[in-house]
Amino acid sequence: MAVEGENLWKSFSQTKWMGARREVISSHALQGIDMQVRRREILGILGPNGSGKSTLIRLMATLLIPDQGRLQVFGLDVVRERRQVRRLINRVSVEASFFKKLTARENLAYAAGLYGVSNVQAQAEATRILASLGLPRDKLEIPLETLSRGQQQKIAIARALLTSPTLMLLDEPTTGLDPTSRRDVQEFILDVRKRHDSTIVLCTHDMAEAERLCDRIAIIDQGRIVATASPEDLISGYGQGGSLEDAFFRLTGLNQKSLEEDPR
Amino acid sequence: MSPIRLELHALWAVVRRNFHLVRRYFGWEVVFLFYNVINTLTIALIAFALPARERDRIVVYLTIGALLWNFLSILFQEVASSVSWERWEGTIEYSFMAPIHRLTYLAGVCLYAVLYGVLRTLVILIAVVFFFHIHLAHADWLGAAMILAGSSLPFIGLGLMGAVLPLLSTERGAQATQVIQGVILLVSGIYYPIRVLPGWIRWMSHLSPATYTLQAARRAILNGEGPLHLLPLTIKLFLSGLILVPIGLAIFQVAEHWAMRNGTLKRNG
Ligand SMILES: Nc1ncnc2c1ncn2[C@@H]1O[C@H](COP(=O)(O)OP(=O)(O)OP(=O)(O)O)[C@@H](O)[C@H]1O
Ligand SMILES: [Mg+2]
């Protein structure tokens, strides 16, 4: 197994001061998640906004510590064996986080340096990756703040791949990309899995993307996984043979009304 | 790559990134430097209100204070702001997700801050010497250099503690860093001997490494005391660094753990 999570809980609390009175508001982001990701599989995570997808990704990325439960990446505990886990993973988040005044090359040099990848190798690799994602070369030499969101996102993808991660955590990597770029990135993800033997966890709001890329899809709602199955099984099991979107609505209760009309 | 080389490689990546940032904000650098030079000159000019007999000595006395304070505040500010900067840009999750020891990351930030602080202080020193035609014939530079080297370790320890605050809260952390800096400025005898301080705060002077550094630097430059005289104090400063740095690192790691529990590393998404 690439990832194994058992009974994962995570809540966040925020302190609000109402005059002198202190009020702690806590929200439960994850409520008892059990999950498994097999080696070399692409697991999709679908769910409404605020359902806990990014939180789950952050737990796997060793950026958050679960309140309860156990999470292992390739048999290593994400809390106790954090540093070994970090060698195996990388993440692309929905917002491309960079030093915005620096150029793409400078940002990539920094990221590669942290993983012990030599700068020469990193720049050559990045040029190749970005060419295949259709980013003009001269865009690498100007401050990142002058690039469009989609172009920045492509650089974020290159940054994650430079370190040859065994487990790639992709949090909405194609949000904000044009259809062509989205297609490029999707092809690229499939290609990476094939060539690097990577395992990929992909959060997305794009049903077609999930259907196209994922071997299995986990649907998450209010911090709980409500179903995990292959796209075909999800559609036939919950979508009344229609589409993945139907299955999504049904499972996440957004379409409560039609559920009541047609209880299964 | 061997583990040690991996860490060194990463350390260099952090230093290089910071110098890239300096280059991109060059306009600000020039402005800060200009302000620093003027500030140091105006402080040294205070001595010109004194009788000519004392003037030379006080000019040097004040300049040493201003230069060291300048160096210290750069160190403190750079270490603390590189954490708040990374939080602001959202890159902190990427930096902290890297498979390196936290000490490596922080050492990179500190090394950069020391190099950068030395560079900026040198420019100011040159400006001051040019402006005042100071005669420093009997100064013992070797002694002064030794003291500076010995004191950078405890200062780095303080810097690490300063970096913790922005990790806990971006905005209030930066504010708290300023307050701590202010206290150090007050109690370390930067522009006056600590005996002028009221008794109820003077005890704090003995806790600040800057107090000892300044006293020793003045003894070297004003009285021409050599390395041999200053060695015991240098060793003391160095040893205090050997205690302060691990404490700073430990506090940082506790704060990081806290941030990972409470989800305060992230900005959005
Ligand atoms: N660092 C944090 N501090 C406080 N609350 C948080 C934090 N991270 C997540 N949350 C809360 O946890 C819940 C789940 O958030 P999460 O970001 O995991 O959702 P998501 O499924 O990724 O949503 P989206 O589709 O909008 O990206 C939300 O209610 C959110 O407000
Ligand atoms: Mg999200």
The count of C-alpha atoms lying within 13 angstroms of the C-alpha of A29, restricted to the half-sphere facing its C-beta, is 23
Does a structural domain hold residue A116? yes
Q: Residue A197 — pLDDT band, cuts 50, 70, 90?
A: confident
Domain carrying residue A196: 3-10+29-256
B18 close to B109: Cβ distance less than 8 angstroms: yes
Checking if the pLDDT of A11 tops 90, the result is yes
B161 close to B251: Cβ distance less than 8 angstroms: yes
Does a structural domain hold residue A213? yes
B107 close to B160: Cβ distance less than 8 angstroms: no
Locus of tokens 């060194």: B8
- pTM, entire model: 0.89
Per-residue pLDDT tens over the stretch B8-61:
999 999 999 999 999 988 899 999 999 999 999 999 999 889 998 888 889 999
Radius of gyration of the CA atoms of chain B, in A: 20
Does a structural domain hold residue A20? no
What is the spatial distance between Cα A38 and Cα A215, in angstroms, rounded to a whole number? 10
Residues of B in contact with A65 (CB under 8 A): 257, 260-261
Average pLDDT of B63-72?
A: 92
Does a structural domain hold residue A15? no
Does a structural domain hold residue A50? yes
Sequence-separated (6 or more) residues with CB below 8 Å from residue A66: A8, A9, A10, A30, A59, A79
Overall domain count for chain A: 1
Of B109, B111, B122, which Cα lies nearest the Cα of B33?
A: B122
Q: Which of A26, A27, A46, A95 to mutate to test the pocket of ligand 1 (most atoms within 8 A of CB)?
A: A27
Q: Residue B216 — pLDDT band, cuts 50, 70, 90?
A: very high
Q: Which two tokens stand for residue B191?
A: 């522009």
Checking if the pLDDT of B176 tops 90, the result is no
Average pLDDT of B204-229?
A: 92
Per-residue pLDDT tens over the stretch A121-130:
999 999 999 9
Q: Please tell me the predicted confidence (pLDDT) of residue A22.
A: 84
Region of residue B220 (left: phi > 0; alpha: psi -120 to 50; beta: else): alpha
The count of C-alpha atoms lying within 13 angstroms of the C-alpha of A157, restricted to the half-sphere facing its C-beta, is 33
A228 C-alpha vs ligand 1 centroid, how far in Å?
A: 21
Checking if the pLDDT of A261 tops 60, the result is no
Beta-bridged to residue A202, according to DSSP, are A44, A170
What is the spatial distance between Cα B27 and Cα B31, in angstroms, rounded to a whole number? 6
A50 C-alpha vs ligand 1 centroid, how far in Å?
A: 5
Q: Which two tokens stand for residue B259?
A: 């941030």
Per-residue pLDDT tens over the stretch A55-95:
999 999 999 999 999 999 999 999 999 999 999 999 999 88
Checking if the pLDDT of A262 tops 90, the result is no
Checking if the pLDDT of A259 tops 70, the result is no
Q: Please tell me the predicted confidence (pLDDT) of residue B56.
A: 84
Q: Please tell me the predicted confidence (pLDDT) of residue B61.
A: 92
Of B202, B199, B163, B200, which Cα lies nearest the Cα of B180?
A: B163
Does a structural domain hold residue A262? no
Please give all residues whose CB falls under 5 A of ion ligand 2, grouped by chain where several chains appear.
A 54
Locus of tokens 């430990």: B250
Per-residue pLDDT tens over the stretch B116-171:
998 998 899 888 888 888 777 788 989 988 988 888 889 888 888 888 888 887 77
CATH number of residue A100's parent domain: 3.40.50.300
Asked if the C-beta of A182 comes within 8 angstroms of chain B's C-beta atoms, the answer is no
Does a structural domain hold residue A55? yes
Does a structural domain hold residue A146? yes
Element (H, E) at B251: helix B227-262
Across chain B, mean pLDDT equals 90
Which residues have any ligand 1 atom within 6 Å of their CB?
Answer: A 12, 27, 29, 47, 49-55; B 263, 266
State the ipTM, two decimals: 0.90
What is the spatial distance between Cα A222 and Cα A215, in angstroms, rounded to a whole number? 23
- Tell me the C-alpha to C-alpha distance, in Å, between residue A97 and each of A54, B92, B267: 15, 9, 10
Three-class DSSP labels, chain A:
CCEEEEEEEEEEEEEEEECCEEEEEEEEEEEEEEEEECCCCEEEEECCCCCCHHHHHHHHCCCCCCCEEEEEECCEECCCCHHHHHHHEEEECCCCCCCCCCEHHHHHHHHHHHCCCCHHHHHHHHHHHHHHCCCCHHHHHCEHHHCCHHHHHHHHHHHHHHCCCCEEEEECCCCCCCHHHHHHHHHHHHHHHHHHCCEEEEECCCHHHHHHHCCEEEEEECCEEEEEECHHHHHHHHCCCCCHHHHHHHHHCCCHHHHHHCCC
